[in-house]
Chain A
Amino acid sequence: MPVTDPGRTDPAIIRNFSIIAHIDHGKSTLADRMLQLTGVVDPRAMREQYLDRMDIERERGITIKSQAVRMPWTQGGVAYVLNMIDTPGHVDFTYEVSRSLAACEGALLLVDAAQGIEAQTLANLYLALEADLHIIPVLNNIDLPGDQPEKYAEELAGIIGCPPDDVLRVSAKTGEGVRELLDEIVRQVPAPVGDPDAPARALIFDSVYDTYRGVITYVRVVDGALSHRERILMMSTKATHEVLEVGVISPEPIQTHRLSVGEVGYLITGVKDVRQSRVGDTVSLSTRPAAHALAGYRHPKPMVYAGIYPIDADDFSELREALEKLQLNDAALTFEPETSGALGFGFRIGFLGLLHMEIVRERLEREFNLDLISTAPNVVYRVVMEDGTEHVVTNPSEYPEGKIAEVYEPVVRATLLSPSEYIGTLMELCQTRRGVQLGMDYLSADRVEMRYTLPLAEIVFDFFDALKSRTKGYASLDYEDAGEQTAELVKVDILLHGDPVDAFSAIVHKDKAYQYGVAMAAKLKELIPRQQFEVPIQAAIGARVIARETIRALRKDVLAKCYGGDITRKRKLLEKQKEGKKRMKMVGRVEVPQEAFVAALQTGEGGKDKKPS
């Protein structure tokens, strides 16, 4: 009988797998059911103890998510070890998903029997196929009315190229079919293969900061073993750390002496910053380092930038501290101080994408209680001048003046899944967003997959909203980095009373410049209160004005009646207005309320609340 003790598990009985699923297709319910059926959590404890413990963890600020759970499963008299590895569920984290998948030999493709596959799930499926994972297709919620298991079984079978009968059917909610699924995992997913005698190599697939323990690094051992008290080497940075603790999660952490070939578990070294333990990096031993790191490591690269400013200028240092704290747990987050004539002192923050931006902003506001104003997000441009010099522009106000030879913008390869009735609508949308069609395939009789190359800037603009509203929410989108292209881009400045407002400058395609200028000028006309003088609002490319609005001069600002009983009220109002004036930003002579900036930038087509599906 093979040994199942953590640290000395025979690779032949290990099955490492992930679940690929859309956010509401029942992944956590299925995972919970597996925890129960394998006995690592008993059904009553599930609610009463496990959840209680999560509450405490939440209060203490410890990450509650189980990144990888080790579960026993006996089949045909053989005890197996199943490692279920979680994957982050979003388009911005494609790289992280790919590293989680790289830690597995198989993946469950879980799809709701009433909804069919979504673009992001499909994208993750492609990642899994690229990583040579064995795919087990599973339809969930077969107990619900309104489902179409036959149709979607056909669809899944078509996508992975298997007979429709091979598509398993479960109800994660009732548990129906889950035992059979566990059996199939054992049967179908290949056992990990590695060289136990080679120098140690382990893949980091997640890295989480814990207030009490420091960074917890989740690894999958490929070759050799990692043991307690050994000195490990991070192969990308050459940094070495002592292993203070090594173990597996089941679902509580269980300390072991070591992790060996094929095993999945955690390491604690006492480092305090996830950037010292990066996802995708290879862990080896400093005494006997591996010759080559595992393939596929990438340093996270910000794709979208936005300026974030405290509404109250006094909160600047708090914002810095908050960003530093977030960075402990977010290796992809980058920031640099920046000054805006209009918004004051803040930070230029680099994000993996829009959702990443939204998450960071929400955490800053909720966890650190900050009132923030953010500029419209923009992508990174590479501007080559006629004299050959090159500028990397992460903020429109840094856009160079003078003779520009070429401007490069990032592009993505986008995948859209939609009911086929919207093909025309989507083609038109992609065309207006400067998309180039790469191909189109029917997933089933009435569902289609369309592939486009699109400028990332267009997606950052208002693509998600447009996509959702034009397809009644049925279409879904995924995209991945696809390099850069030259484009005819211009910088549009917005001038108030002749003074440019840096926060409103935007780099847009020359065909869209007029539209942007007109829309922004009209919006500002509504948002900026009338002043004692007439205020022209102009949109301009260089010295050329392309749109103009005028805020007429304020003609009346006086309380009609100010008698004995009004005086106290009037003075208090004045004191309040003077306080309010501190929250006004002066653009030249024009007083602009913070609220106007917030509204202009948020309701702008700048990409707030755009959740890719």
Chain B
Amino acid sequence: MAGQWGRWMSGSRWPARAVSRSGAAPRNLTPMPSTPPVGDPVPPDGSLPGQALDGLADTPLGFYLHVPFCAVRCGYCDFNTYSPDQLDVDAVSVWARSAHTEIDLAARVLGDRSPRLSTVFIGGGTPTMVPPALLTGLIQHLRDFFGLLPDAEVTTEANPETITPPVLEALLEGGISRLSLGMQSSVPHVLRVLDRVHTPGRALEAVRLARAAGFADISLDLIYGTPGESLGDWRASLDAALGVAPDHLSAYALIVEDGTALAARIRRGALAGPDDDDLADKYLAAEEVLTSAGYAWYEVSNWSRGTSHRSRHNLAYWRSHHWWGVGPGAHSHVGGVRWWNVRHPRRYGALLAEGRSPGEGREVLHADQRRVERVLLELRIADGLPAGVLTDTERGRVPALVDDGLLVDHPDAAPEGRLVLTLRGRLLADAVVRRLLD
């Protein structure tokens, strides 16, 4: 396996400076430069409090697999990912072995009442930095222990540079049917600021190859608000993405995370920081362009063609379903218990090799915390928040938010009425949550 890592790095297909990650989103990772949340200790065997498993059988269960490798780190990225020079030579094989061990641990902890899996999502990092067989091997392991529902959604993030017909074929054969590609922008000067070295056409080519290989569910990620990006640049990126008719699009306002190279450049004054008005204009442009092309928003930063192409794995996060995050730094949630793994791959591997849980900390949420999370998460999605989640005083604040044009109240929606953000409300979602909550 160590040899493969080396081969992958030196192979002629790999540019000396490959892109850092193909990822659609910072899925389950707290940013690396920031400290992880402070939590309670996780028991060595990873066991959960009894009541956390009460709703296990009736709640959709997913798995997230974290691949913590990138060829290089991009200046804006703060995910838990490492370039080869930061790791041991056998890091990939140790990671894969450890991930299998963690799946065994999950099987022990969740036990017989565990339902078959609704979704699996492989993110990173750059999942396609490792051989596809390693990824599909983990999928097979999950299928063997937990089983997959017939309509299970199995996604991998992918770096456009790594997409070739043989890779695509291997992924499909191994049961991975959804692809999430990091495109970010179609404009060269924007990609340069993001340290992305792929050519603007590479992601679009990858979509065409994936279609040809038989992928029926393809997502593209875009970033807006990069320093130097004009509104015209942004529209050009949207148009370019729509040109290959993806099934799903994520559009994220650039977040300048503390501790990143990008943050340092902005602090020095070498680059202008993102401007909220500019971000708002670009969000509205995205909504307008995507809506007229037949896409509909289903979460603040996500649009799909028809409801069937929504990312069910990501919806599970916003609906407080259950998922187990496998890999260094991965986060999990089961029955009101959130926990997160140690971040460094070596420590992660060492704990699992000792037969211990790699969990670094956890929090057992009390009822009101779970309620608060529901409000802040479910208001983000187009299906909205059931009004019954709110307290009486909170519900009393709804009319003012409706009057301000931030919220729509659907009192007759089954079973208890629903609150959905307006377009303006989506841009002010956090402020709405703060105004609403007790």
Contacts and interface: CB of A to CB of B under 8 A. Distances in A.
Interface of A: 530, 532-533, 552, 554-572, 574, 577-578, 581
A565 B373 contact: no
A29 B176 CA distance: 85
A561 B280 contact: no
Nearest to A571: B373
Contact of B30 (A533, A569, A574): A569
B427 interface: yes
A567 B255 contact: no
B263 to A, nearest CB: 16
B280 A565 contact: no
Interface stretch (B20-28, B41-49, B107-115, B139-147): B20-28
6 contacts: A532-B406, A555-B277, A556-B283, A558-B427, A564-B64, A565-B28
Given A560-B301, A564-B64, A554 B434 contact: no
Nearest to B373: A571
Contacts of B215: none
Contact of B276 (A556, A562, A565, A572): A556
8 tightest CB-CB pairs across the interface, nearest first?
Answer: A555-B280, A565-B331, A565-B28, A558-B429, A564-B28, A560-B253, A557-B431, A556-B276
A524 B406 CA distance: 27
Given A563-B317, A571-B376, A554 B255 contact: no
Chain B interface SS verdict (over half): mixed
B404 interface: yes
Contact of A560 (B255, B277, B332): B255
B154 to A, nearest CB: 17
B331 A561 contact: no
A562 B377 contact: yes
Given A556-B277, A571-B376, A574-B434, 11 more contacts: A555-B280, A556-B280, A558-B426, A560-B254, A562-B318, A564-B64, A565-B30, A565-B329, A567-B373, A569-B37, A571-B369
B26 A559 contact: no
Contacts of A574: 372, 376, 430, 433-434, 437
B325 interface: yes
Contacts of A581: 434
B38 to A, nearest CB: 9
A563 B26 contact: yes
A238 B58 CA distance: 87
A565 B330 contact: yes
Interface in B304-329: 314, 317-318, 323, 325, 329
B428 A557 contact: yes
A561 B428 contact: no
Contact of B26 (A530, A566, A577): A566
A564 B430 contact: no
A578 B372 CA distance: 12
Contacts of B318: 562
Contacts of A562: 300, 317-318, 376-377, 380
A27 B300 CA distance: 70
B363 interface: yes
Contacts of B333: 564, 567
Contacts of B331: 564-565, 567-568
B27 A563 contact: yes
Contacts of B26: 561, 563, 565-566
A581 B331 CA distance: 29
Given A556-B283, A563-B25, A563-B317, A568 B431 contact: no
B297 interface: no
Q: Which of A530, A555, A572, A577 has the most CB of B within 10 A?
A: A555
B338 interface: yes
Contacts of A578: 434, 437
Nearest to A570: B376
B317 A564 contact: yes
A556 B279 contact: yes
